Amino acid sequence: MKGLFGRKGSGRRKKEGAASADRGILVFENTSEVIQAERVLKKAGRSVRVMGPPPEIRSGCDLVIEFPLIEELDIVRELRGAAIPPLAVVPVTAPLLAPVDLFHTKDFGDYWMVRAANMKITVAKEDLTIVNVSGGGCPDVPFLAQQMVGKTLTDAPRPRDLGHTLCGYALDLAYEEMLRK
């Protein structure tokens, strides 16, 4: 991903990709490091958010962490201390460098569906019961679905506590987004 920064953009502009001078993104070697870094930074009380990489540097289904630029030095120090230094720190100075939202929400009438990366969770609006969990293709998805379907959002176990794969992580992001709704 590091080598892609010199690439020219296509000139297309995504609506959600508005530039923000006070935010930056942290780029890592792989998704596993993103997950670890998010955990370290949230534990330290940092206001960070996992997002999709901006179009300018996208390569596949990678993830990046958006953070307040003013905290750059402290954050990078914390990540070095945790042995997960970022490959690059990029200020969001141009629209094509703005990270994109990982979430897509769809209204199915009596149901809401939230997709985060490759995982979807669907909830009945009436009583917030989880009616479907799908996506991914990881071996633990049927287990996650079995544990969550039929329970309400508040009663269901957290995917992050059950899952062992990137699908479990993505499902947890979708679950959190659903809780925010």
Partner 1 sequence: MATTVDARGLSCPQPVILTLEAIRSGKDKEIIVLVDTDTSKENVTRAAASKGYRVHDVSPEGEGYRISITRG
Single residue of 53, 95, 99, 135 touching partner 1 by CB under 8 A: 135
* Binding window for partner 1 (CB under 8 A); candidates: 54-62, 83-91, 107-115, 171-179: 107-115
Contact partners, residue 6, CB within 8 Å, separation at least 6 = none
**DSSP for 96-120, written as a single string:** GGS-B--EEEEE-SSEEEEEETTEE
Instruction: Name the minimum Å distance from CB 144 to partner 1.
Output: 11
* Binding window for partner 1 (CB under 8 A); candidates: 47-55, 68-76, 96-104, 138-146: 138-146
Applying CB under 8 A, what is the total number of residues that bind partner 1? Answer: 16
1 sits near partner 1 (criterion: CB under 8 A): no
Element spanning 40, H or E: helix 31-43
Instruction: Name the minimum Å distance from CB 82 to partner 1.
Output: 37
Single residue of 19, 88, 149, 153 touching partner 1 by CB under 8 A: 149
Single residue of 132, 140, 143, 153 touching partner 1 by CB under 8 A: 132
Angle between helices 31-43 and 166-180 (to 10 degrees): 50
Q: Is the dihedral of CA 8, 51, 34, 122 positive or negative?
A: negative
Instruction: Name the minimum Å distance from CB 142 to partner 1.
Output: 7
CA 167, CA 26: separation in Å to the nearest integer?
21
Single residue of 19, 134, 140, 143 touching partner 1 by CB under 8 A: 134
Structure tokens at 53: 């990489």
CA 66, CA 23: separation in Å to the nearest integer?
7
Single residue of 88, 131, 153, 162 touching partner 1 by CB under 8 A: 131
The CA R_g of the chain, rounded to the nearest whole Å, is: 17
Residues that bind partner 1 (CB under 8 A): 108, 110-111, 113, 120, 122, 124, 131-132, 134-135, 142, 145-146, 149-150
